[in-house]
Structure formats: C-alpha cells, structure tokens
Amino acid sequence: MTDLLPVVVVHGGAGFIPKERSQLSISGVCAAVQTGYAILKGGGSSMDAVVETVIQLENNPAFNAGCGSVLNVKGEVEMDAIVMDGKTLASGAVSAVRNIANPIQLARLVMDKTSHACLTAEGANQFARSMGIEEVPQESLITEYSRMRWRKNLAPDANPVESQMGKAGTVGAVAVDLEGNVACATSTGGMLNKMEGRVGDTPIIGSGGYADNQSGAVSTTGHGETIMKITLARLILFHMEQGRSVEDASDLGLACMQSRLGGLGGVVTVDPQGHWAAHFSSKQMSWAAAQRDIMHYGLYTGEHFTQSIN
C-alpha cells in the first residue's frame, strides 16, 4: 500500500458554467468528495465510495443528473448511468431510464443482481420496481432552470450541443480504497434537447467510464457522441498501460477527442497507486479530490485550491 491511498476524485461536468451557478457547482463537488473520502477512510470499498458520492450529486439540482437533469426534446427526463468495479471488471448500467431519483443506485443493482451489463428504458424501470426502488414523479426531477433551457433550445436557431457544452453538469467519481481496488461511477441526464430514446456515452463501458485494477479508473464528461467514437475512458487507460502517467494519459485521450472530432470534454482519472488527475479540454469543469486529509478543487484550467479535511 502506498501513502497515497485512499483517494477519491469527483467531477461535476465539463463545459462553461455561468458565473451565477459556478459556486453551486464547486460547493456541490466539494461536499460530495468528502462523503466519498469518509467512506474510504472508514475502510469502505471504492465502489461504495463512488456510488454514495454520485448519489449526493444526483440529489443536488445544480448538476445534470438525477434531479436537475436536462430535458429531452419532448421536455422529459431520461437518464443514463454506469458503475464499474476494477477488481472483478463487474459493471452495471442503465440507459434512458425515467422516474428514478438515483440511476446510479439502479446501475449498481444491475451489476449486483442481474447477469447483464445494461438495462434500458421501461425494462430498467420494471427491474427497479422488482428491486423495490421507489419511482418518483418526473416533476420532482425537473428544475425551473432545466425547463427554461429546454424552452430556449426549442427555438429554430438554437444550437443545443453548443449550449450544453455551455452548461453541462454530468457527474462522476473514481476512487481507490485502502486495499488498492479502483472503481468508477458516472451519471447524467444526457444532452440538452436530445431525441427521445437517445443513449449517450455514459452507460457504455469504456466510454462513460472504465475501471480495472491493472491500470486504473476513469469517469468522463463531454459530448457523448464524440466520447463514444474514441471510447475515451478506455483510451486513457490504454495509454496508462503503455506507461503514461495519469496526467499524460488523460491529456492524450482528450487531445485525440479534440483533434480527430473537435469534441470537448473532461475526465477524472486514478491509478491503483493513488495518483490522480482531473483534466478537461472544455473551458471549465468543476472537480474535487480528497487524499491524505487534504481536499483539492478547481473550476478553470490551471486552478487548484487546497483545504484540509478535518
């Protein structure tokens, strides 16, 4: 074991966060990372840490996941989520799921209780019911802000992708526990004004996230159609397998996404030794990390604040 363990790193979405919302975003990731860190310090698993961290972000209306999700073109909430366990390569995901407060919890149940990797739409909801997960009214997941943006982007001259990279807020976490096991979790409402039934990168293994004890764990955010084409999470771990550091590998993955397809995004990355990175090619990404009783956080490129955790 290295003295870099345990560690948890969280993101609150790549994009451009308007000034009036940036404080909400920063305080949200900072609170969530401390929840995950407390679990790890208490001897909890990296899987428990990333799931509890993401649940907290899903419950926070400042982010595009759970309550606060962006709306599809019909003004409805359809969400995607994934978890992956680096020790066993077990993974679980849900896509286009509705009326669920915490899709990440459902993704974990897909991993733990089924022989499948992903359940979608109504089938995922049926499974939720069978597991006793309460369904919530759609209204409880919709904020005034998400409805306002949906309306604005219905205009014929609107550009929802640009607007989203304007104000994204997918959430994700990666962690390494005291035993050196890595895990990832990612959850999102997807892209603003997406078509009904659209499935993004988030629930796709190797795109929205990947975790493998032999290399590390990644959770991604950004334009999903682009992330999927380069399987961003797996691409970063490939570079780490070739001997690159978490930082170099994260940059190489993001650079490939930008140079090949013009896509912007962000990632949080760890290796099993506890080295970590929170990198992005977008203008901003709210992120926070906790390690050695110190919290690190930032929003703009190059920004890196620290604060002790007591």
Ligand X SMILES: NC(=O)C[C@H](N)C(=O)O
Residue with tokens 């998400």: 146
Maximum separation of any 2 CA atoms in the chain, in Å: 56
For residue 170, state whether it binds ligand X (rule: CB under 6 A). Answer: yes
Question: CA–CA separation, 199 vs 224, rounded Å?
Answer: 9
For residue 12, state whether it binds ligand X (rule: CB under 6 A). Answer: no
Half-sphere exposure of 267 (CA within 13 A, CB side): 36
Is 170 noted as a catalytic residue in this protein?
yes
Instruction: Considering the complex, state which of residue 161 and residue 176 has its C-beta at the smaller distance from ligand X.
Output: 161
For residue 236, state whether it binds ligand X (rule: CB under 6 A). Answer: no
Question: Which region among 37-45, 144-152, 222-230, 243-251 touches ligand X (by CB under 6 A)?
Answer: 222-230
| Structure tokens, 308 | 């002790």
Q: Is 74 exposed, middle or buried (0-12, 13-18, 19+ CB in 10 A)?
A: exposed
Q: Which of 202, 269, 284, 291 binds ligand X (CB under 6 A)?
A: 202
**Residues 209, 84: contact at Cβ < 8 Å?**
yes
Size of site (CB under 6 A) for ligand X? 14
For residue 224, state whether it binds ligand X (rule: CB under 6 A). Answer: yes
For residue 201, state whether it binds ligand X (rule: CB under 6 A). Answer: yes
Question: Which region among 221-229, 244-252, 282-290, 298-306 touches ligand X (by CB under 6 A)?
Answer: 221-229
Question: CA–CA separation, 120 vs 57, rounded Å?
Answer: 22
Q: Which of 188, 193, 215, 269 binds ligand X (CB under 6 A)?
A: 188
Question: Which region among 40-48, 124-132, 185-193, 285-293 touches ligand X (by CB under 6 A)?
Answer: 185-193
Instruction: Considering the complex, state which of residue 28 and residue 222 has its C-beta at the smaller distance from ligand X.
Output: 222
For residue 219, state whether it binds ligand X (rule: CB under 6 A). Answer: no
| Structure tokens, 89 | 């390569």
For residue 58, state whether it binds ligand X (rule: CB under 6 A). Answer: no
Quote the least distance from Cβ 217 to ligand X, whole Å: 17
For residue 250, state whether it binds ligand X (rule: CB under 6 A). Answer: no
Instruction: Considering the complex, state which of residue 15 and residue 36 has its C-beta at the smaller distance from ligand X.
Output: 15
Quote the least distance from Cβ 94 to ligand X, whole Å: 13
Half-sphere exposure of 37 (CA within 13 A, CB side): 25
Question: CA–CA separation, 40 vs 302, rounded Å?
Answer: 27
DSSP-H helix ranges across the chain = 19-41, 46-58, 103-113, 121-130, 144-152, 160-167, 224-230, 232-241, 246-261
Q: Which of 103, 203, 209, 222 binds ligand X (CB under 6 A)?
A: 222
For residue 13, state whether it binds ligand X (rule: CB under 6 A). Answer: yes
Question: CA–CA separation, 281 vs 283, rounded Å?
Answer: 7
Residues 80-99 that bind ligand X (CB under 6 A): none
Q: Which of 12, 190, 253, 272 binds ligand X (CB under 6 A)?
A: 190
Residue with tokens 């970590």: 276
Q: Is 243 exposed, middle or buried (0-12, 13-18, 19+ CB in 10 A)?
A: exposed
Exactly one of 170, 202, 221, 231 is catalytic; name it: 170
Using CB under 6 A as the criterion, which residues of the chain lie in contact with ligand X when the complex forms? Answer: 13, 64, 168, 170, 188, 190-191, 200-202, 221-222, 224, 227
Catalytic residues, by residue number, are 170
